[in-house]
Amino acid sequence: MELTHALKQIQPSYIREILKDAQSEGVISLAGGLPDGQHFPVKLMASSLASLAQRPDLFQYGQTAGYGPLLDYFRTQFQLPEHHDSLVCTGSQQALDLIARAYVNPNDKVVMEAPSYLGALQVFGLAQANILSVSQQADGPNLAELEACFAEQAPKLFYAVPDFHNPTGVTWSVPVRQKVAQLCQQYQVTLVEDVPYRELRFSGELLPLVSSFCPEHALVLRSFSKIATPGMRIGVVSGKANWIAPLVKVKQSADLHSSIPMQAVLLDLLTHDEFPAHLATLRALYQERYTSLAEQLQAKLPQGCHSNPVEGGMFIWLTLPPCDDFALAKQALTHKVAVVPSSVFYKQGEKVTPALRLNFTNATSEELVIAVDRLVEVIKQECGIA
């Protein structure tokens, strides 16, 4: 059967394709965006999971918007105004898909930073959006480019990951947040603020959400994949009630609702006395691994390679001297280290800076040391450095 034109244009996900190789014996993977499976809060969920057998009501069809007590919790936690709502989604990835289906017609303009989250490139690509790129700097998007883009192109959406960006780890400064919010208001562009890594800050100060400066012009996507477990598949989108209602309608046709038993377990977890301690442990663990990776890179990388420090999240972005980073990543796999080349984070045909995304949350500090040794050898080979 012939595929749709939209799907034919979508590149398969490099990360999903190499996942099998990345998981094979002896390979150290810095490729995926995986949280550490040894630290899933399963003990904190144990009694909640066991109690499900006594709660058959949770196994009936439920409301599309989500499990009522969880929605009430979100309203309080996120301090939502009366005229804002939340919709529980099957991962924040589904929220992106619902937004695209509800609001993006073919050729509608959607602005993204370059590089950008691959899953968002895929969603907006499938929706046949006209993706406009704005370059990213150390403290967020290039504001002059962004304003010119808003003024000249009148885009509908600006998709952004302001906290510990995937793939670059960049966090927007407060002045950048304020300016972007002001531009969204001035040019009537809806900000889609995607913050799955926000709770994984291990140094520096918590910064206000960009949407806190333009709440009437934003949809906020939160995820529980990185702080609870990705397998629960729970995320949530919040914003003005009249913007959430169409998403509920699309979700009805997509999957009726997300798993109610899992939402009940998530609520028990988020309100568990020991959940803050779990978060603190996770942050300390990821900080230790980040420090280990950053120090190894600093000590061992050849000239011409560069990475900026990060204050949280899961990734370091390593820029390389001129080379074919795709070939380099393939070569790294034969040396038993998996990494992701920069080209997969750009829309097709765009000018790409040779770089690698390195994940530091899924390998131990000891493995990270070995991974850097292997990687340095490959970089020297592929970039022709003696």
* Minimum gap (Å) between residue 224 Cβ and ligand PLP: 7
DSSP 224: S
* Minimum gap (Å) between residue 116 Cβ and ligand PLP: 9
Q: Which amino acid is at 298?
A: Q
How far is it, in rounded angstroms, from Cα 24 to Cα 37? Answer: 17
* Minimum gap (Å) between residue 198 Cβ and ligand PLP: 10
DSSP 201: B
| 120 or 379: CB nearest ligand PLP | 120
* Minimum gap (Å) between residue 171 Cβ and ligand PLP: 13
Residue of 296, 301, 338, 375 whose CA lies nearest to 26 = 338
> Using the rule CB under 6 A, is 92 a contact of ligand PLP?
yes
Q: Each residue of 35-50: b (16+ CB within 10 Å) or e?
A: beeeebbeebbeebee
* Minimum gap (Å) between residue 344 Cβ and ligand PLP: 13
Give the per-residue SS3 of 278-328. HHHHHHHHHHHHHHHHHHHHHHHCCCCCEECCCCECCEEEEECCCCCHHHH
> Using the rule CB under 6 A, is 91 a contact of ligand PLP?
yes
Nearest residue to the partner ligand PLP, using Cβ: 91
> Using the rule CB under 6 A, is 162 a contact of ligand PLP?
no
* Minimum gap (Å) between residue 37 Cβ and ligand PLP: 14
Q: Which stretch binds ligand PLP (CB under 6 A): 71-79, 91-99, 271-279, 360-368?
A: 91-99
* Minimum gap (Å) between residue 313 Cβ and ligand PLP: 9
> Using the rule CB under 6 A, is 235 a contact of ligand PLP?
yes
| Angle 239-244-245 from CA coordinates, rounded to 5° | 150
Q: For residue 352, with 0-12 CB atoms within 10 Å meaning exposed, 13-18 middle and 19 or more buried, which class applies?
A: middle
* Minimum gap (Å) between residue 97 Cβ and ligand PLP: 10
| 118 or 176: CB nearest ligand PLP | 118
DSSP-assigned beta bridge partners for residue 59:
none
| 316 or 372: CB nearest ligand PLP | 316
- Binding residue for ligand PLP, selected from 122, 223, 292, 342, defined by CB under 6 A: 223
> Using the rule CB under 6 A, is 230 a contact of ligand PLP?
yes
- Binding residue for ligand PLP, selected from 115, 196, 215, 239, defined by CB under 6 A: 196
Q: Which amino acid is at 342?
A: S
> Using the rule CB under 6 A, is 33 a contact of ligand PLP?
yes
Q: Which stretch binds ligand PLP (CB under 6 A): 12-20, 87-95, 97-105, 330-338?
A: 87-95
**176 touches 202 (CB < 8 A):** no
| 248 or 314: CB nearest ligand PLP | 314
- Binding residue for ligand PLP, selected from 67, 117, 243, 345, defined by CB under 6 A: 117
How far is it, in rounded angstroms, from Cα 345 to Cα 337? Answer: 19
How far is it, in rounded angstroms, from Cα 372 to Cα 362? Answer: 14
Torsion of CA 322, 326, 327, 332, to 10 degrees: 100
Mark 252-281 with x for binding to ligand PLP (rule: CB under 6 A) and - for no binding: ------------------------------
**190 touches 221 (CB < 8 A):** no
> Using the rule CB under 6 A, is 93 a contact of ligand PLP?
yes
- Binding residue for ligand PLP, selected from 87, 98, 121, 161, defined by CB under 6 A: 161
Dihedral pair phi/psi, residue 227, rounded to 5°:
-110, -20
Which residues of this protein are in contact with ligand PLP, per CB under 6 A? Answer: 33, 91-93, 117, 119, 161, 166, 194, 196, 223, 225, 230, 235
